[in-house]
Amino acid sequence: MPHMSRHRLLSLAATTPFSAAAQDSAPAIHVVKDRNCGCCSAWVEILGNAGFTVITETSFGTLLMRHKLGNGIPQEMHSCHTGEVEGYMIEGHVPPADIRRLLAERPDAIGLAVPGMPYGSPGMGPEDEREAYDVFLIRQDSSTEVFSSYNSA
């Protein structure tokens, strides 16, 4: 897919007609990731299979870190890729069900994060071998709280 600037992407999104039903069934998520990251690509595929419309953009090193920090994701919440959906930031291997819950509940928050790369989280290996991990809600003041927890398999 050719590189598309964020401005161009948002302009396209603002001018492209969608029915309310289409938006509910296929929320669009913009994912910024390293082009060589296999687990990022696996997460993108999982989102697509879960009904999300995924648009990817590649970024590297310092630019990717600036993107995360500039969008309010605290450093201790960082992972390998960052998504944005309906005004919320999604950091790391957040399960699609948690993203849908976030969009349904619409809390006053920056978004969700799964810091690091826990084995067995979406895109990080088989779920039946997963290690325990938490999905965090990042509040507007950068504080965090557990949004959901996944036990080890």
Q: Other CB atoms closer than 10 Å to residue 143's CB: what's the count?
A: 11
Examine residue 21 and state whether it is found in any structural domain, yes or no.
Answer: no
Examine residue 16 and state whether it is found in any structural domain, yes or no.
Answer: no
Q: Is the distance from CB of 133 to CB of 148 less than 8 angstroms?
A: no
Cβ neighbours for 82, distance < 8 A, ≥ 6 positions apart? 31, 32, 33, 64, 67, 68, 71, 73, 89, 90, 91
Examine residue 141 and state whether it is found in any structural domain, yes or no.
Answer: yes
Helix ranges restricted to H, 29-139: 38-49, 61-70, 96-105
Q: Residue 133: what are its φ and ψ, rounded to 5°?
A: -155, 160
State yes or no: pLDDT of 6 exceeds 50: no
Q: Is the distance from CB of 43 to CB of 37 less than 8 angstroms?
A: no
Examine residue 131 and state whether it is found in any structural domain, yes or no.
Answer: yes
**Share above pLDDT 90 across residues of the chain, in percent, rounded to a whole number:** 71
Q: Which two tokens stand for residue 104?
A: 């349904």
Examine residue 120 and state whether it is found in any structural domain, yes or no.
Answer: yes
State yes or no: pLDDT of 7 exceeds 60: no
**Share above pLDDT 70 across residues of the chain, in percent, rounded to a whole number:** 84
State yes or no: pLDDT of 1 exceeds 60: no
- The mean per-residue pLDDT over the stretch 124-130 comes to 94
CA distance 72 to 89: 8
Residue 46, domain CATH: 3.40.30
Q: Which two tokens stand for residue 85?
A: 């959906």
Question: Number of structural domains, the chain?
Answer: 1
DSSP state of 141: T
CA distance 68 to 103: 20
Q: Tell me what pLDDT residue 8 has.
A: 40
Examine residue 20 and state whether it is found in any structural domain, yes or no.
Answer: no
Top-confidence residue, 37 or 106: 106
Residue range of the domain that includes 143 = 6-11+26-150
Structure confidence by residue, pLDDT tens digits, 54-88? 999 998 888 999 999 999 999 999 999 999 999 99
Examine residue 1 and state whether it is found in any structural domain, yes or no.
Answer: no
Q: Is the distance from CB of 91 to CB of 117 less than 8 angstroms?
A: no
Q: Which two tokens stand for residue 51?
A: 């009904």
pTM: 0.82
Examine residue 97 and state whether it is found in any structural domain, yes or no.
Answer: yes
